[in-house]
Chains A and B, each alone.
Chain A
Amino acid sequence: DIQMTQSPSSLSASVGDRVTITCRASHSISNSLNWYQQKPGKAPKLLIYAASSLQSGVPSRFSGSGSGTDFTLTIGSLQPEDFATYYCQQSYFTPDTFGQGTKLEIK
């Protein structure tokens, strides 16, 4: 199975900060990389698909980049509602695999 490794596992930041989360795949996955946001007790929500495409309705402060094995999710200016856990997911190989998650907390 493809291993997806996110870093950092947790991150403390302040409202207004610019934040970057990275995701590395154990093999090349082209641009078949998606990002999800999950808040406590809620279902995951799709933010970014195909590495850099913004899902409809998602604020433009979220952006994604990368190809091959290295990917990033950037939040341009943190808002209070952005404090959550973020997961990357590869959909290039079966089984789909997720990163372990990055918990973004308020500093």
Chain B
Amino acid sequence: EVQLMESGGGVVQPGGSLRLSCAASGFAFSNYWMYWVRQAPGKGLVWVSRINSDGSSTAYADSVKGRFTISRDNAKNTLYLQMNSLRTEDTAVYYCARLDGYNGLEYLDHWGQGTLVTVSS
């Protein structure tokens, strides 16, 4: 069974840092691209970042570029999101998700349960 489990969320002051982790199990983690998606309280889903299967290629939403860093450790089956210079608008539940697809058609077929990040003074 595919499982994704996020951790590392919490309360942090503006300007602070947090590192989120996503532990993967039940599939060949090193074969899949992975995503971070966030959801502010009462709001919709927003793509944050993605990383390819070997970690050599990454992409970020403009709103987090230069502040967040996505990475992965395939030996530990773990995805990370290092979040620096946090702002109040970064407050959200952060989900990791697995990207699957074929012939250029891609979709997020498994999601973690999410971890809440609250940025507040």
* Inter-chain contact A46/B105, CB cutoff 8 Å: no
Indicate whether A44 sits within 8 Å of B111 (C-beta atoms), given known contacts A95-B59, A98-B45: yes
* Inter-chain contact A87/B44, CB cutoff 8 Å: yes
Across the interface, A44 reaches (CB within 8 A) one of B45, B59, B61, B105, namely: B45
Per-position binary interface string of chain B over residues 103-115, scored 1 when its CB falls under 8 Å from any chain A CB and 0 otherwise: 0111111111110
Report if A72 contacts B (CB, 8 A).
Answer: no
- Size bracket of the B interface: 20 to 34
- Give the distance in Å from the alpha carbon of A44 to the alpha carbon of B35 in the complex: 13
- Give the distance in Å from the alpha carbon of A49 to the alpha carbon of B108 in the complex: 9
- Give the distance in Å from the alpha carbon of A101 to the alpha carbon of B45 in the complex: 8
- Give the distance in Å from the alpha carbon of A45 to the alpha carbon of B108 in the complex: 9
* Inter-chain contact B44/A31, CB cutoff 8 Å: no
* Inter-chain contact A87/B107, CB cutoff 8 Å: no
Report if A96 contacts B (CB, 8 A).
Answer: yes
Q: Interface size of A by Cβ–Cβ distance < 8 Å?
A: 24
Report if A55 contacts B (CB, 8 A).
Answer: yes
Contact partners of A99 in chain B: CB under 8 A: 44
Across the interface, A43 reaches (CB within 8 A) one of B95, B104, B106, B107, namely: B95
Per-position binary interface string of chain B over residues 57-75, scored 1 when its CB falls under 8 Å from any chain A CB and 0 otherwise: 0010100000000000000
Across the interface, B113 reaches (CB within 8 A) one of A34, A43, A97, namely: A43
- Give the distance in Å from the alpha carbon of A95 to the alpha carbon of B108 in the complex: 14
A-B contact pairs, 13 of them (CB 8 A): A31-B105, A38-B45, A44-B108, A44-B111, A45-B111, A46-B108, A46-B109, A49-B107, A55-B109, A87-B45, A91-B101, A91-B107, A99-B44
Q: Which residues of A approach B to under 8 Å, CB–CB?
A: 31-32, 34, 36, 38, 42-46, 49-50, 55, 87, 89, 91, 94-101
